[in-house]
Amino acid sequence: MSELEYPQDLRYTAEHEWVRSGEDGTVRIGITAFAQDALGDVVYVSLPTVGDTVATGDACGEVESTKSVSDLYAPLDGEVTAINQALDATPELVNTDPYGEGWMYELRPSDEAAVAALMDPAAYQAQLG
């Protein structure tokens, strides 16, 4: 498990998603190295629509791999402000660069303070066992 990375500037959820705070009050969301590794080769990603309002814990998309289909869950309440359209043509970016080019969508959180309540990297890695 030690070969998988968990960047220190991110917050994490028990559903294996990461959240990166932006300078404009939005957050960028993707799935962790652990999640993409468990899924295997990602072949399709279904994302929420820009303008959608999501609530914490709501299923808001799917990631399909050669092994299974998994739901994406909203880590925070808020409005979707952008999606990563590159994933339409190249969903494998989720595997090759989960914290960079493989990001999923951006959200304007209803409560910016809620980001700080998510797990830090140490807590996330501890819950992985």
Q: What tens digit of pLDDT does each residue of 60-84 get?
A: 999 999 999 999 999 999 999 999 9
pTM, two decimals, is 0.94
pLDDT in tens, 16-47: 999 999 989 999 999 999 999 999 999 999 99
Residue 80 lies in a domain: yes
Residue 22 token pair = 């932006």
Nearest alpha carbon to residue 30 among 78, 86, 97: 97
Question: Does 35 fall in a domain?
Answer: yes
For the chain, the domain total comes to: 1
In a domain, 107, yes or no: yes
Model confidence at 1: pLDDT above 80: no
Task: Flag whether 22 is in a domain.
Answer: no
Cα–Cα distance measured from residue 39 to residue 68, given in angstroms and rounded to the nearest whole number: 7
In this structure, are residues 100 and 84 in contact, taking their beta carbons and an 8 Å threshold?
Answer: no
Sheet holding 69-73, edge to edge: 42-46, 59-65, 69-73
10 occurs within a structural domain: no
Half-sphere exposure of residue 31, counting CA atoms within 13 Å on the CB side? 26
Q: Are strands 53-54 and 42-46 parallel, antiparallel or unpaired?
A: unpaired
Q: How far apart are CA 95 and CA 110, in angstroms?
A: 30
pLDDT single digits (tens) 86-104? 999 999 999 999 999 999 9
Q: What distance in Å separates the CA atoms of residue 94 and residue 28, rounded to the nearest whole number?
A: 14
Q: What is the CATH number of the domain that holds 71?
A: 2.40.50.100
126 inside domain: no
Whose structure tokens read 């910016």? 112
Q: Decide if 11 is inside a domain.
A: no
Answer yes or no: is 100 within a domain.
Answer: yes
What's the start-to-end Cα distance of the chain, in Å? 10
Q: What are the counts of helices (DSSP H) followed by strands (DSSP E) for the chain?
A: 4, 9
pLDDT category at 129 given cuts 50, 70, 90 is: confident
| Model confidence at 2: pLDDT above 60 | no
pLDDT beyond 50 at 125: yes
The parent domain of residue 56 ranges over: 27-113
